[in-house]
Amino acid sequence: MSKDKINLQKEYIKTQISKIINSLNEELIGLTPVKVRIREIAALLLIDKLRQYFGLTSTNPGLHMSFTGNPGTGKTTVGLRMADILFQLKYIKKGHLLTVTRDDLVGQYIGHTAPKTKEVLKKAMGGVLFIDEAYYLYKPDNERDYGSEAIEILLQVMENQRDDLVVILAGYKEPMDKFYESNPGLSSRVANHIDFPDFSVPELIKIAKIILSEQQYRFTNEAENAFIEYLTKRREKPLFANARSVKNALDRARMKQANRIFDNYNRTLTKKDLVEIEASDILQSTIFV
């Protein structure tokens, strides 16, 4: 390739980014704002690479990220994809994702936190460190909490080893916002904030159907309607966890189906009997009583 021209499409294909973005779009239901942001980040990274190629200044765009949203909205799933994208673009050498929480970073006793945090950082180098429920690192009512020690070390690495490690801080939106307010140093080093919306009922149904077909099950029409009704009620209850709650509900429905078939063991079975989830398998949920 001559040094004064570059084929954007070729470069794009070479990175395999298109493949990852397409599979992100196809396999993940909903999450439109998330997909748009990821595409923007990927575009920025690719253009930055191409600028380097022409000898233009490339300002290693800050890659640390914040994923906020309720449980089961796809934060961990997207984090894994993000690690892949960063790896394909050669921003990180290994492309693995290490998920940790406060307990992995912070010790119980004086002197335990620094070695713990450093050990985790060592393992994460070359990849993505995904800190789940990151706000637990900071306890505002306790000045001597060891969490702030972990944050200090983290900050240094986020600043000085940007080429070796990408940090994603994840958790519920409100406590994360508060966490950033109390830790402006951290906030200023996180360039990309991505909000994960709750899924709508139709999106949850699509997710349910994907899960079922992966397991070689399917809803009857009545069962699908029952599940719509179930999700509409379940969504309003506490501890609703989006796609994760869908998974759990389907596990229970399969159990009910097995029980129903078992109770009628004296008749012949067809393949269809074993594949179909019926409305009664859903309607037995305590949410309907």
**Segment (H or E) for 72:** none
Closest distance to ligand ADP from the beta carbon of 219 (Å)? 16
171 makes contact with ligand ADP (CB under 6 A)? no
Closest distance to ligand ADP from the beta carbon of 71 (Å)? 4
Q: Which is nearer to ligand ADP, 116 or 234 (CB)?
A: 234
Q: Which is nearer to Mg ion, 46 or 168 (CB)?
A: 168
Tokens 């960063």 appear where? 86
74 interacts with, out of Mg ion, ligand ADP, none, CB within 5 to 8 A per kind: ligand ADP
Handedness of CA 280, 281, 282, 287 (dihedral sign): positive
Closest distance to ligand ADP from the beta carbon of 212 (Å)? 12
Q: Which is nearer to Mg ion, 72 or 147 (CB)?
A: 72
d(CA 90, CA 223): 47
Chain positions 205 to 244 lying near ligand ADP, rule: CB under 6 A, are: 207, 243-244
Chain positions 56 to 85 lying near Mg ion, rule: CB under 5 A, are: 75-76
Q: What is the dihedral of CA 246, 248, 253, 254, to 10 degrees?
A: 120
Q: Assign 68 to helix, strand or coil.
A: strand
Handedness of CA 128, 131, 134, 138 (dihedral sign): negative
Q: Which of 94, 83, 96 is nearest to 42 (CA)?
A: 83
Q: Which of 109, 89, 97, 190 is nearest to 149 (CA)?
A: 109
Q: Which is nearer to ligand ADP, 31 or 157 (CB)?
A: 31
Instruction: Select from 29, 89, 100, 167 the one that contacts ligand ADP (CB under 6 A).
Output: 29
Q: How many helices (H) and strands (E) would you count in the chain? A: 14, 7
Chain positions 62 to 91 lying near ligand ADP, rule: CB under 6 A, are: 69, 71-77
Residues that bind Mg ion (CB under 5 A): 75-76
Residues that bind ligand ADP (CB under 6 A): 28-31, 69, 71-77, 207, 243-244
